[in-house]
Amino acid sequence: LAGDAEGLVIDPASSPARVILPRQLIERMLESVDETLAVKTLLVGERTDATPAAVVDALTRAPLWAAVGRSEEGAPLGLAEGRAEDGSRYLEVASHPLEIVAAARSDQPVPITAVQLSTALARDEKLTGIVVDPRGPGIRLSRAELAPLLALATAPGE
């Protein structure tokens, strides 16, 4: 970005699979990135028994995005949910807004704080947890694993 390039072409010889990233998109990507890449670093790293707790800890500090959309025309906006094969529900959150855009759904990325996420989970006890970066590499975290995050929830009306 220090130069005058209009953007970046990734794998230009692989038409039609090449990717063209305009300068404005790259600038917006960098504005939204967590400079420490705390969550993404944990997600791409080796998984151990300590990984879920480390991700939850990072979620309390790192910027997060939620996928927001309407379930049907005229319905109010809501946070995107996923459903597991057993029917359990979970919220989908992302470490960067492009994680949501890449899903190519009608949802829009919206910043969400750890307190807002915690409050959303606290208000609906039927939500079994969250999935961070569902398009991968991601992690599904249960309510029990999210206890430190859930402790941040604000009481209704605050």
Higher pLDDT, 39 or 30: 39
Higher pLDDT, 69 or 116: 116
Tell me the pTM. Answer: 0.78
Higher pLDDT, 93 or 9: 93
Q: Is 70 exceeded by the pLDDT of residue 19?
A: yes
* Backbone angle region of 148, left / alpha / beta, with phi > 0 → left and psi within -120 to 50 → alpha: alpha
Neighbours of 82 (CB within 10 A): 14
Residue 99: pLDDT band (50, 70, 90) is confident
Burial class (CB in 10 A: 0-12, 13-18, 19+), 53: middle
Burial class (CB in 10 A: 0-12, 13-18, 19+), 96: buried
Least Cα distance to 89 among 124, 38, 39, 139 occurs for 124
